[in-house]
Chains A and B, each alone.
Chain A
């Protein structure tokens, strides 16, 4: 019996990656990183989160025993196909612009009867001891927009306003290190250490970055949502903590998602 085996071994791949950098300096460094990324593409554990989220979507939940099939993400109750590509959007029932995660929490509280504290218990998971329902649900919903073009309704006045506020936030310098989002994401071809930085001030940069979240982070062994991405950027910016689902988090998401308009959604992706 002829059997060929290939294992995606993150630890081993990382070691090989480091060694290959040692061997290949300068311009070829980028090529080596590209090879490493390619090696990760084939088996994306994000699918494990998508599967868990899909199962959760259909099961009656909370004190009211209501499933997410009643949850309207903007395209009608229970409709997930293409929903992520149009978020954030304005929801008249909540009188608020919401991103995916905020809307999921809203459905848990308003429809399923969960307390807000319960709905927000594990916003960001950490291993099997602290699993996040929200991350799994977000992975599933986002996966249902694969190949669909981003189309955030920037002509809707509430969304447009959040977009403009998000733009201001993007350039807002503060803290002990004078950092703004633009400090690291305002120029082409830059990197921190060896990590490439998308230039989010350009449409192509915003498109490439936004359409790949949520993403499975190999270095954490976790699937992360865009709320997590923003939260952790601000931590590194030396800012206080961005509250989950806060207006500022939605404004910045609206700005970046809006700038990604026109690009096909390509997540949940896999990242280092």
Chain B
């Protein structure tokens, strides 16, 4: 829940949309919250809907809001725990209990960065773009380093039910394990379909996957 401080003042700024000329009239407002409120109002007046990317994308959920507030600083343990717990509860599992699909299809999904940009065709299946941030198959040399290497993910952790379940959960909602993680919540946000998540899980945990060679 958003804390509204000096609502009258903030409302006036949001309506006008140009903050700079009025801000000094609001000097008594508690500084940080005021800046956050005004930044959000400014963004909403500065972005325009473009295709599938509507202005609703700027509306934050609780996790996004809290993570933004901490601005890269370490979270207090209690806050991190709260975020992780709430996100763990969002994770859904396939009705048939089958978590592992086809690693070959998973590799294609891991390679593709298509999807959800206003320049993308919304009719085409989205990718997960795993290689943008992670090393996976050693054959792919063009990988990013924002996330850890996932080379031999299954081989190191063991080909167990636990490993498979963890891979599913992590892809579905990474914030369940690392509050304010940089990783998108692929299941929670419906970026990937259930079958696509299965396929990416397979890329990580199938003993035949290039990731585990």
Chain A directly contacts chain B within the complex, with at least one CB pair under 8 Å: yes
**How long is the Cα–Cα vector from A22 to B140 in the complex, in angstroms?**
10
Instruction: Provide 9 A-B residue pairs closer than 8 Å at the C-beta atoms, listed in order of the A residue.
Output: A90-B20, A95-B21, A161-B19, A178-B64, A178-B67, A178-B184, A239-B57, A240-B50, A246-B45
Per-residue 0/1 for A149-181: is the Cβ within 8 Å of any B Cβ (1 yes, 0 no)?
000000001100110110111011111111110
Considering only residues 110-145 of chain B, those with a C-beta below 8 Å from chain A are: 116-119, 131-133, 141-145
Considering only residues 235-249 of chain A, those with a C-beta below 8 Å from chain B are: 235-236, 238-243, 246-249
Per-residue 0/1 for A216-255: is the Cβ within 8 Å of any B Cβ (1 yes, 0 no)?
0000000000000000001110111111001111010000
**How long is the Cα–Cα vector from A180 to B40 in the complex, in angstroms?**
13
Q: How many A-B residue pairs have CB under 8 A?
A: 154
A207–chain B nearest beta-carbon distance, Å? 18
Known pairs A171-B72, A176-B57, A184-B146; A242 contacts B46 (CB<8 A)? yes
Q: In this assembly, does A121 line the interface, its C-beta being within 8 Å of a C-beta of chain B?
A: no
**How long is the Cα–Cα vector from A240 to B117 in the complex, in angstroms?**
8
Per-residue 0/1 for B154-168: is the Cβ within 8 Å of any A Cβ (1 yes, 0 no)?
000000000000000
Whether the pair A238, B146 counts as a contact (CB closer than 8 A) is no
Whether the pair B46, A248 counts as a contact (CB closer than 8 A) is yes
Q: In this assembly, does A129 line the interface, its C-beta being within 8 Å of a C-beta of chain B?
A: no
Residues of A within 8 A of B57 (CB): 174-176, 238-240
A residues with CB within 8 A of B: 21-22, 25, 29, 90, 95-97, 157-158, 161-162, 164-165, 167-169, 171-180, 182-184, 186-187, 189-195, 197, 201, 234-236, 238-243, 246-249, 251
Known pairs A180-B68, A182-B71, A241-B118; A174 contacts B60 (CB<8 A)? yes
Whether the pair A247, B49 counts as a contact (CB closer than 8 A) is no
B135–chain A nearest beta-carbon distance, Å? 11
**9 tightest CB-CB pairs across the interface, nearest first?**
A248-B46, A246-B46, A168-B39, A241-B50, A177-B184, A171-B71, A240-B47, A173-B64, A175-B57
**How long is the Cα–Cα vector from A189 to B49 in the complex, in angstroms?**
33
Residues of B within 8 A of A167 (CB): 71
B63: nearest chain-A partner, CB-CB: A178
**How long is the Cα–Cα vector from A165 to B60 in the complex, in angstroms?**
17
Interface contacts beyond A192-B133, A195-B144: sample of 9 additional A-B pairs, CB < 8 Å, sorted by A: A164-B35, A171-B68, A173-B68, A174-B58, A175-B116, A194-B142, A236-B117, A238-B117, A248-B45
Known pairs A158-B20, A162-B20, A165-B19; A172 contacts B189 (CB<8 A)? no
**How long is the Cα–Cα vector from A173 to B61 in the complex, in angstroms?**
9
Whether the pair B71, A189 counts as a contact (CB closer than 8 A) is no
**How long is the Cα–Cα vector from A52 to B132 in the complex, in angstroms?**
37
Residues of B within 8 A of A234 (CB): 47
Q: In this assembly, does B90 line the interface, its C-beta being within 8 Å of a C-beta of chain A?
A: no
For chain B, give the interface size range.
35 or more
Whether the pair B47, A246 counts as a contact (CB closer than 8 A) is yes
Whether the pair B47, A239 counts as a contact (CB closer than 8 A) is yes
Interface centre among B47, B49, B50 (most CB of A within 10 A): B47
Residues of A within 8 A of B185 (CB): 178
Whether the pair A193, B143 counts as a contact (CB closer than 8 A) is yes
A193: nearest chain-B partner, CB-CB: B142
B107–chain A nearest beta-carbon distance, Å? 15
Residues of B within 8 A of A248 (CB): 42-43, 45-47
Interface centre among B39, B64, B67, B132 (most CB of A within 10 A): B39
**How long is the Cα–Cα vector from A190 to B146 in the complex, in angstroms?**
6
B132: nearest chain-A partner, CB-CB: A192
**How long is the Cα–Cα vector from A235 to B48 in the complex, in angstroms?**
11
Residues of B within 8 A of A192 (CB): 132-133, 144, 146
**How long is the Cα–Cα vector from A240 to B185 in the complex, in angstroms?**
19
A62–chain B nearest beta-carbon distance, Å? 26
Per-residue 0/1 for B55-85: is the Cβ within 8 Å of any A Cβ (1 yes, 0 no)?
1011110011001100110000000000000
A87–chain B nearest beta-carbon distance, Å? 15
Per-residue 0/1 for B25-55: is the Cβ within 8 Å of any A Cβ (1 yes, 0 no)?
0000000000110111011011111100111
Whether the pair B46, A182 counts as a contact (CB closer than 8 A) is no
Residues of B within 8 A of A21 (CB): 141-142
**How long is the Cα–Cα vector from A13 to B19 in the complex, in angstroms?**
47
Whether the pair B39, A172 counts as a contact (CB closer than 8 A) is yes
Q: Which of A25, A96, A235, A242 contacts B20 (CB 8 A)?
A: A96
Known pairs A173-B60, A182-B71; A240 contacts B145 (CB<8 A)? no
Whether the pair B53, A239 counts as a contact (CB closer than 8 A) is yes
Residues of A within 8 A of B49 (CB): 240-241
Residues of B within 8 A of A164 (CB): 35
